[in-house]
Structure 1
Amino acid sequence: MIRRSWMTGVSIETTLELWASSLRDVKARMRPLFTQERVANSASQFLDGLLGEERRKTGWMRAEAAGDPGPWRQQAILGRGHWDADALRDIVRDYALETLADADAVLVIDETGFLKQGKASCGVGRQYTGSAGKITNCQIGVFASYVSRHGHAFIDRALYLPKVWTEDRNRMARAHVPDTVSFATKPALALTMIERAIASDVPFTWVAADSVYGVGDIEMALKRAAKGYVLGVNANHLFRSWDKPLAVAGTAKDIAEALPDDAWRRLSAGDGTKGARLHDWVYLELADLDADDFDAAFPGIWTRGLLIRRKIADGDLAFFSTWCPVGTSMEKLVTVEGHRWAIEDSFETAKNELGLDHNETRSWHGWHRHVSLVMLAFAMMAVIRHRANTMPPPKTRQRLGPGISN
């Protein structure tokens, strides 16, 4: 599945060579996870199936592509086999960072839904998912995507378990959920992923997320780690300024509605599929704080602020709590917020082309294994795209005179 539209100025021969060498590389990286050669071969074929042309990445489809008489070997990779999905998650992260790492990168947190039938799939229940735009029967996965000027890839994931699951130990046991797993909110899952990224020395300066993750422990953890953020908040979130020329106090919505027309600036949050994503923006600095004020182990002055986005078409408002080094421009904060588009694009690509939501297993381990293998396939594609687009153009023969060339 080679997407030539991703790559500029690269011959089909070079693209094929990049694809083959990258596939060999990622298979070699995951090989130590498997103690038996036949299991490693099945995992390799599973990855081939995810990257293949089949629209549905079901066990039968992957088995057919691998030449197997049935889906049992493919299903065993997600179920009966013994291997560590978290170890694969770490392999994906380290592999992606070798190419995508950048000190100014943004860690984007978001969730997506996996529509399901029945009640047996781990974590399934009637809950809201933006994927369907409504409350429906689904699983919810929380993801961390690494977004830099070099590209973007998923580097972490977690399956959300509603309380109706964690309070039913028999149901948890039937889905093979480890005994150590207990209820955790989506922000708590996100915080664990952020802390894991920091502990693993993942290079990033910013975190961006929507309003599900915009308050509480995540903010304090990022402050103490010297990470800036642009986190969505609800319209009724309270803000207050102090020691600033413009005094504001009240809900985000009330503050926005009191602003004069000339306070807004039209800026692009980055390029989308249809060009620049233009909106009207306001940035209000609320307070400057010394790092000592929040028990940080580093020096410096940081600014807490409120960023407001207004859609040009319908005037719809969105609000973001911000934290950044003093002097950070509104343009920079708008750019950081715009990085959230990358994870939305990633979900769409991973579902439509790599079968992210085609997992047929019902267990805890099956979900994490399937998703981690998809993450590896997605990271490989991101690496190929970056390498292809940064290759020097092929040399052309220069004519020196009539009938003469160099």
Structure 2
Amino acid sequence: MAAEDVVGWERELAASTDGLGGLFNRPEPRRVFGDFVRALLADVPKKNSWGLAEHAGYATPRPFEHLLDGAVWDADLLRDAVREFVVDRLGSPVGVLVVDDTQALKKGDKSVGVAPQYYGLTGDVANVQTMVMCTYASPAGHAFVDRELYLPEVWTSDPARCRAAGVPTDRQFATKPQLAVAMLTRAVDAGVPFRWVVADSGYGKDARLRGFCHDRGLSYVLAVPKNLALLDARGRPTRPDRLHARLPVGVFERRSCGAGSKGARWYDWAAHAVTVAGEDPASGHAHTLLVRKSTTPRTRDGKTFYDVEYFLAHAPTATGVPDLVAAAGTRWTIEENNGQGKDVLGLDQYQVRKWTPWHRHVTLSMLAQAFLAATRANPGKDPRIQEATS
């Protein structure tokens, strides 16, 4: 949904931001808060404090800068309000929590969490901040409901550097999957209705994340690497690519895993019951290996091959393959949210360096996206956010 679609929603948007006025104990930041979100939704070329303030009619960016770094309010309370709003508007028993990370390219070494890291846009290492995001997806739509800033060990091992960037003193090193567990824990504790947890192999390969889901009885479809430790029917070590190599050609079935930007996304799928080495599924659940193969081959260096991806599913024993395939297909929703957040809603266009301003800007962008998702899901219906704070 383009930013210009917001035209005509002024009353609903004002009601939504006014409903969160309890975040602030003074009227000035309360008013600036509404103007900030409104500017994020507008057609502003550069959505940092300067660009947003100019659009809002401020003589200087100082009111917006103060909102991000100075005013007294809790970005985690706003995060929780956004999650509640998304669930209220998009919630479904068949909802999916999708976890992935995205990066913001930055200069210098002062911005909190910045370091040479994998940069998904180019596939290379670059000087970036990495944000771990969680999307809630349902048949009604999808939007971010949580976020965590990843701090590499070069940061957490340097207390002075963390202190200068305003990182809380109790913040310890946590891997990206550990941050994902923290977000999933908040969702479960908040009673978010969902059926599946979905993520790429950077998260699926993590035994602690899988163990959390087993302990909580959560169903998942996680992409996994080809060398994930499995056991065959005789208890001997094996792995996804070896199981795949022994599958008969006729076992694959062509299925769509959902609609994409170019229509249905068709792949050839095969499913195989598996045992994960050292891991027991939750009671009443079983593990299944899904093999996804492209429908047409590619040629490189004179060799023809198919693109293959492996997924480990953990689900109630009666779950059918079509349900597993559909869950796997929801991973694209967070890719769309990441793209929309950056291209339309200024998710990565901040010019802040410290911990608190980063969380405030990113959560404000999440609020803007939630408003868009609610309006798309309920055209013509007032999408205001009810008061979630006191």
User: Do the aligned residues in 1 keep the contact of 2:165 with 2:355 (CA within 8 Å)?
Assistant: yes
Alignment of 1:325 with 2:316, yes or no, is yes
CA distance in 2, matches of 1:389, 1:280: 40
CA distance in 1, matches of 2:230, 2:381: 44
Deviation at 1:125, TM superposition (A): 0.4
The one of 175, 198, 215 equivalent to 2:165 is: 175
| Residue matched to 2:14 | 24
**Which digits, 9 at most, give the CA deviation of each residue in 1:67-126, with x for residues without a partner?**
111111111111122211101100100111111010111100000000001100000000
Which residue type is aligned with residue 32 of structure 1? G
CA distance in 2, matches of 1:111, 1:280: 27
User: Do the aligned residues in 1 keep the contact of 2:4 with 2:42 (CA within 8 Å)?
Assistant: no
| Residue matched to 2:302 | none
Alignment of 1:303 with 2:286, yes or no, is yes
User: Do the aligned residues in 2 keep the contact of 1:116 with 1:124 (CA within 8 Å)?
Assistant: yes
Structure 1 unaligned residues grouped into runs of 5+: 6-14, 392-406
Structure 2 unaligned residues grouped into runs of 5+: 299-305, 383-390
Alignment of 1:47 with 2:37, yes or no, is yes
Q: State the TM-score, normalizing by the size of structure 2.
A: 0.90
Deviation at 1:152, TM superposition (A): 0.5
Alignment of 1:78 with 2:68, yes or no, is yes
User: Do the aligned residues in 1 keep the contact of 2:40 with 2:47 (CA within 8 Å)?
Assistant: yes
CA distance in 2, matches of 1:352, 1:233: 29
CA distance in 2, matches of 1:53, 1:182: 39
The one of 355, 361, 365 equivalent to 1:364 is: 355
CA distance in 2, matches of 1:79, 1:218: 34
Deviation at 1:241, TM superposition (A): 3.9
| Residue matched to 1:276 | 264
Give the secondary structure class of the aligned counterpart of 2:291: strand
RMSD: 2.1
Alignment of 1:217 with 2:242, yes or no, is no
**Which digits, 9 at most, give the CA deviation of each residue in 1:261-296, with x for residues without a partner?**
1121111111001001111111111259xxxx76x6
Residue 105 to residue 170, structure 1, CA distance change in 2 (3 Å): same
User: Do the aligned residues in 2 keep the contact of 1:55 with 1:352 (CA within 8 Å)?
Assistant: no
| Residue matched to 1:11 | none
Q: State the TM-score, normalizing by the size of structure 1.
A: 0.87
User: Do the aligned residues in 1 keep the contact of 2:14 with 2:34 (CA within 8 Å)?
Assistant: no
| Residue matched to 1:399 | none
> What is the correspondence of 1:163-312 to structure 2 with a 5 Å cutoff?
163-214=153-204, 215-242=206-233, 250-286=238-274, 301-312=284-295
User: Do the aligned residues in 1 keep the contact of 2:98 with 2:137 (CA within 8 Å)?
Assistant: yes
User: Do the aligned residues in 1 keep the contact of 2:133 with 2:147 (CA within 8 Å)?
Assistant: yes
Which residue type is aligned with residue 198 of structure 2? A
The one of 317, 339, 345 equivalent to 1:348 is: 339
Give the secondary structure class of the aligned counterpart of 1:223: helix
**Which digits, 9 at most, give the CA deviation of each residue in 1:339-359, with x for residues without a partner?**
000000111111100011101
Give the secondary structure class of the aligned counterpart of 1:357: coil
CA distance in 1, matches of 2:270, 2:380: 35
Which residue type is aligned with residue 134 of structure 1? D
Which residue type is aligned with residue 204 of structure 1? F
The one of 318, 325, 329 equivalent to 1:334 is: 325
CA distance in 1, matches of 2:3, 2:62: 30
Give the secondary structure class of the aligned counterpart of 1:126: strand
CA distance in 1, matches of 2:258, 2:310: 18
| Residue matched to 1:381 | 372
Mean alpha-carbon deviation: is it higher for 157-166 or for 65-74?
A: 65-74
Give the secondary structure class of the aligned counterpart of 1:268: strand
Residue 3 to residue 85, structure 1, CA distance change in 2 (3 Å): closer
Residue 377 to residue 274, structure 1, CA distance change in 2 (3 Å): same
Alignment of 1:95 with 2:85, yes or no, is yes
CA distance in 2, matches of 1:256, 1:38: 61
**Which digits, 9 at most, give the CA deviation of each residue in 1:226-278, with x for residues without a partner?**
221011111111222448xxx98512112212222112111111100100111
Mean alpha-carbon deviation: is it higher for 233-242 or for 329-338?
A: 233-242
Deviation at 1:49, TM superposition (A): 1.2
What percent of counterpart residues are identical?
37
Residue 199 to residue 45, structure 1, CA distance change in 2 (3 Å): same
User: Do the aligned residues in 2 keep the contact of 1:267 with 1:281 (CA within 8 Å)?
Assistant: yes
CA distance in 2, matches of 1:224, 1:24: 42
Which residue type is aligned with residue 87 of structure 1? L
CA distance in 2, matches of 1:52, 1:344: 22
Deviation at 1:22, TM superposition (A): 3.0
CA distance in 1, matches of 2:326, 2:223: 14
Name the count of aligned residue pairs: 370
User: Do the aligned residues in 2 keep the contact of 1:248 with 1:255 (CA within 8 Å)?
Assistant: no
Higher RCO (Cα < 8 Å, 6 or more apart): 2
Deviation at 1:224, TM superposition (A): 2.6
Deviation at 1:389, TM superposition (A): 8.1
